[in-house]
Amino acid sequence: MLKLSNMFSMKQGVTTGYSQIAIVKKIKRQKVHLLLLLPFIAFIIIFKYIPMYGSLLAFREFSYRTPFGGDWVGLQYFKSFFNSPDFGYIMRNTVVISSLSLVFSTLAAILFAILICEVRNAAYKKIIQTVSYLPHFISWVVVAGMAMTILSIDELAPVNSLLLHLHLIDKPINFLGEADHFWPMVTGLNVWKNIGWNSIIYIAAIMSIDKQMYESAVIDGASRYKQIIHITLPTIMPTIILLFTFGVGYILNAGLDQQLFLQNPMNIRSSEVLDTYVLKYGLQQAAYSYGAAVGLFKSVVGIVLIVVCNYVCRKFLKMGIF
């Protein structure tokens, strides 16, 4: 997943100083190679670049005769989105939900990685790790189905009955049916689903730290806690910052599934995000041009954020993803 510094670096293989004849020779030599590449290029053009062209529908009136719209209407649909009463709270929800998820998932994964690396019993370590990956492999449909049962308002449902027994609450919490509980709940579920999987990269980074650093720290009398603060954390910090910065780049992707399945009329003011909005207005209500405008807005802001984040990482960390 993450070849941190040079996975996408395109600095290798730059061809300079070739004469035309050499290029022709090269093409001839790579004839089979290039022929094999053609179907893939065609595939990408059809399934990726044509929809990009199609997003111009945002500037056009929808028509049944041409797939990507007819008459040009300029910025009309963008204006109506920005001026609509929905714009404010949808942007707020999108940014808040993905920021909460990013911050807490990152912290949880780092903590989990540090603690699991301290375990001495290899079998125990392996079992905990394996179990921790489990939630990553299931769909949000399943997570939502589980959440509805386990977080149910019923005072005999697992979480509420536990909290009641511990006298932490007086009456059952309506996790699913109250707008105020949506953000904490969905953040909790995001952390639950991602903690194991996200820790893989941090565990690898910790394992690659030179053991001698710890040994000399022990000789100097550093405690376990001091070792974590002064050796482990600083060494994996570049990895953390890089992944975090790119998380910021994806801030408008709050995720479609979790919001859609956990959404209901009671919590809609806290749970509607850009993706669910496009689905509802753009497709279900067939406001195609409007939906395309919202989608294009999201894509453009997304790529600007990614380029900026990459620039920041390159400048300050001397690493980036492209």
Partner 1 sequence: MKLFKGERLFHVFNNLFLLLIGFLAAFPFWNILIMSFNEGRDAMRGSIYFWPRKFSLEAYAAIFNESSLMHATYISIMRTVWGTLLGLLCTAVLAYLLANRELILRRSMLFFFIFTMYFSGGLIPEFMLIKELNLYNSFLVYIVPAAINVWNVMVMRQFFEDLPPSLAESARIDGASELRTLASIILPMSTPVLATIALMIGVQQWTTWFDTYMFTSGTKELATLQGVLVNILMESQIQSMDPVQASRLEQSGSILTPEVIKMATITITTIPIVMVYPFLQKYFVGGLTVGAVKG
The DSSP letter of residue 284 is: I
**How far apart are alpha carbons 196 and 152 in whole angstroms?**
25
Q: Which is nearer to partner 1, 83 or 284 (CB)?
A: 284
Query: Please, are residues 289 and 74 in contact by the beta-carbon 8 Å criterion?
Result: no
Q: Name every residue whose Cβ is closer than 8 Å to that of residue 173 and which is 6 or more positions away in sequence.
A: 153, 159, 160, 163, 181
Report, in angstroms and rounded to the nearest whole number, the Rg of the chain calculated over CA atoms.
25
Residue 4 is a binding residue for partner 1 (CB under 8 A): yes
| Residue of the chain from 97, 144, 185, 273 that contacts partner 1 (CB under 8 A) | 144
Residue 27 is a binding residue for partner 1 (CB under 8 A): yes
Shortest spacing between CB 156 and partner 1, in angstroms = 3
| Residue of the chain from 164, 241, 256, 312 that contacts partner 1 (CB under 8 A) | 256
Q: Which is nearer to partner 1, 57 or 100 (CB)?
A: 57
Residue 110 is a binding residue for partner 1 (CB under 8 A): no
Residue 234 is a binding residue for partner 1 (CB under 8 A): no
> For partner 1, how many residues bind (rule: CB under 8 A)?
107
Residue 28 is a binding residue for partner 1 (CB under 8 A): no
For residues 91-124, b (16+ Cβ closer than 10 Å) or e, as one string? bebbebbbebbbebbbebbbebbbebbeeeeeee
Residue 244 is a binding residue for partner 1 (CB under 8 A): no
Residues 85-104 that bind partner 1 (CB under 8 A): none
Residue 216 is a binding residue for partner 1 (CB under 8 A): no
Shortest spacing between CB 228 and partner 1, in angstroms = 11
| Residue of the chain from 185, 258, 291, 313 that contacts partner 1 (CB under 8 A) | 291
Polymer length in residues for the chain:
322
Residues 65-84 that bind partner 1 (CB under 8 A): 67-68
Residue 302 is a binding residue for partner 1 (CB under 8 A): yes
Shortest spacing between CB 96 and partner 1, in angstroms = 22
3-state SS track over 185-241: HHHHHHHHHHHHHHHHHHHHHHHCCCHHHHHHHHHCCCCHHHHHHHHHHHHHHHHHH
Contact mark string toward partner 1, 41..60, x via CB under 8 A:
x-xx-xxxxxxxxxx-x---
Structure token pair of residue 226: 């001091």
